[in-house]
Amino acid sequence: MLQKQSLRASVLEMEVNDSLTISLEEYGYTTIRSYASELGFATGRVYRTKRNRAERTQTITRIA
């Protein structure tokens, strides 16, 4: 049986210019931004987050 990959693992696997869109029902807005910020700091990577209010999603993009 396959299990859903964690948000942390998904973000860490991202290559430069990859994006990951997450529903706000799965994770809170602050959780998504915090993961991007904290993992970026710990790994020396740079992530950008963007909200889509109409679809209630948050997109993380690795930019460096």
Whether pLDDT at 12 is above 70? yes
Domain extents in the chain: 7-62
Token output for 53: 């209010």
Q: In percent, how much of the chain has pLDDT > 90?
A: 64
What distances in angstroms separate CA 62 from CA 1, 2, 3, 30, 54, one per listed residue? 30, 26, 24, 18, 23
| pLDDT value of position 3 | 55
